[in-house]
Structure formats: structure tokens, C-alpha cells
Amino acid sequence: MFEAILSFLPRAIAQGIPLLYGSTGEIVTQKSGNMNLGIPGVMYVGGICGVIGAFLYEQSLPSPDAINSFLAVLIPTLFCLLGSLLMGLLFCFLTVTLRANQNVTGLAMTTFGVGFGNFFGGSLVKLSGADMPFLALSATSNCFKVTLPFADKLGVFGDLVFGYSFLVYLAIAIALIASFLINRTRTGLHLRAVGENPNTADAAGINVNLYKYLATCIGCMIAGLGGLYYVMDYAGGIWANNAFGDRGWLAIALVIFTIWRPNVGVLASFLFGGLYILHMYIPSGMNLAVKELYKMLPYVVTIIVLIISSLRNQRDKQPPQSLGLPYFREDR
């Protein structure tokens, strides 16, 4: 039993990290009043841009052994951030500057982003000349997967706490920092004001559009890292089309589940990760079909949280008040 838990926990955490990146990014975005349903697309773009960066770098090397682990991490990360930043800018340009409907723009971005990921993924597979339908960047992935040297010396506990790669700790750090920024700093106060009541924020001299742009772009970049983590770490540098699956929507579910609190998101993402892979741990052999039902647990749990939070109707436990609405100062 203990053994099972020990093998289950790290895997749940590994599953949870992309969701944590996605949900932290989306919370930052939604706090500004922007509902970005394009997050699943953004995560695909983040992932594929990292893959493109890694691919170009690996191709430029004379041999796989010549890899510089610093560059091997830096280049894909920069590519990933750039790609997701551009997605964020696109969303902001359409919804903030051009005041388009956020739901429609977000869904279009998801269509575009998933297509973009699969298209370039597929093309790279072809370019690499592999006979398998996926692209393996194991050299780069190994650089991403470096763990703390002393982790395995500390026994099972060390493995459980220190046995992960830097992107895992980065995700947790970003979530905690985001939580601190939102709740304890002036920038966070202004951001919350923009999301709650942009009219008021504007009248108080806060640059509403700037905040929306910044929050959404930074949110997209954080979410993009989730895609990068998934390919480079979780999947061991292997890009296969559609492998990322529905995790983007799950990240949005996590936003609701945590009631817009990134620090809660850390543990909640592990829980979601656990629910996501729970089906592998139920006594198998009997009915494969039941496993599919287990996979819907995260969504059902989210729906329940959504209902409960609307039932309780507490003022501080609601979505940002202007979530999803465009803002135009001269509206009347």
C-alpha cells in the first residue's frame, strides 16, 4: 500500500504540473477580467515552440554529445515564451484593443493553437525523417530533466520532495509568487480592481488596458511553460500530435476549483493530476471501461465546486465581476 502511494504521488505531481502552469496563467489572466478560453491553444503553442527551438538547436550540433545543457534549456524556453507571448498579444489585440467577444476569440485561438502545434509537430516529424509518428528530442529532454544531485541520497522522502526537475519547482514558485503578487502588492491590488470593476480602476488612474495586456501576456507565457514542461520533461522530449490532449481545459477547470487562488492551485493541481491518473491505480484487469469513467473525475469535481461556490454566494469567493466583459471607457 505504502509502495503504491510512493509511486503514485510523484506521478500525480508530474501530471499536475502542466495543469498548475496553465491554471496559474489563467488565474493571472482572469484576475484582469479577461476570460482566455484560448489557454489550451496557448499551451500547445508553448509546447511546439519549445520543440522547434530544441529541434533547431539539436540540428545545429555536430553530434548529440556536443550539447551544451545551458543552451539546450535556454533556447527552447525562450522559444516557448516568445510563442506564448505572441498568442497573448493576439488575444489582447483582439479583445482589448478591438473589443471582440472573449469567448469567441478564445475558442478561435484554441482552434488555431492546437492546429499550429499539430501542424508544426507533424512537419518536424517529417523533416526529421523518423519512421515513427513522433519526434524524439531526448538529448534536450535530458538537460531539462536534471534533478538535484543529492535527491536520491535522501531515501524515499528525498525522492518525493527533491526528485523533480527545475520546471516543477519553477511551477510551484510561480504559483506562490503569483499568489503573493495578487494579494499583497499594489500591482496585485490594481490588477484585482481592473478585473472587478474596470470603470473604477480607470477612474483611479490605473491604466486598464495596460494591465489587461500585461496580465494576459504574462498569463499566456506561464501557461506556455506548461506545454514546454509536458513535452520536454513529462513526455521525455517526445512530441506526438494531440498527445497533450485536454489538459488545457483541465487547467481552466482548476482555476474554478481553486476559486482563483494560485497558491491553492499547487496542491489542487496535484490532486487533479492524481485524479487524472487514478484509473491506472484502480485494480485493473476487470473492466477497462471503468477507467474511462475515472478520467472524468476532475471535471465532475470541478462542476461540483462550481455549483457549491454559487450556492454559498459569498462575495469574495466569486469570479472577478467583470470577467469576460470588454471595457470601453466612453461606453454609455
Using alpha carbons, list the distances in angstroms from residue 157 to 149, 233, 322.
Answer: 14, 21, 44
Using alpha carbons, list the distances in angstroms from residue 59 to 10, 145, 201, 237, 324.
Answer: 33, 20, 49, 15, 43
Q: Is 104 in the site for other proteins (CB under 8 A)?
A: yes
For cell 491554471, the residue is: 23
Q: Which member of 101, 128, 142, 147 binds other proteins (CB under 8 A)? A: 101
Q: Is 200 in the site for other proteins (CB under 8 A)?
A: yes
Q: Is 114 in the site for other proteins (CB under 8 A)?
A: yes
x/- letters, 126..165, toward other proteins (CB under 8 A): x---------------------------------------
Q: By CB under 8 A, which span of 52-60, 145-153, 165-173, 283-291 interacts with other proteins?
A: 283-291
- DSSP-assigned letter for residue 133: S
Using alpha carbons, list the distances in angstroms from residue 268 to 15, 262, 319.
Answer: 12, 9, 18
Give the three-state DSSP class for 165.
strand
Q: Grid coordinates in use for 50?
A: 519549445
**Sites for other proteins among residues 202-261 (CB under 8 A):** 202-207, 241, 246, 249-250, 252-253, 256
**Sites for other proteins among residues 43-82 (CB under 8 A):** none
Q: By CB under 8 A, which span of 14-22, 60-68, 169-177, 298-306 interacts with other proteins?
A: 298-306
Q: Which residues pair with 239 in a beta bridge?
A: 135
Taken in order 81, 174, 209, 309, the sign of the CA dihedral is positive
Q: By CB under 8 A, which span of 57-65, 170-178, 219-227, 289-297 interacts with other proteins?
A: 289-297
Least Å distance, CB 236 to other proteins, is 22
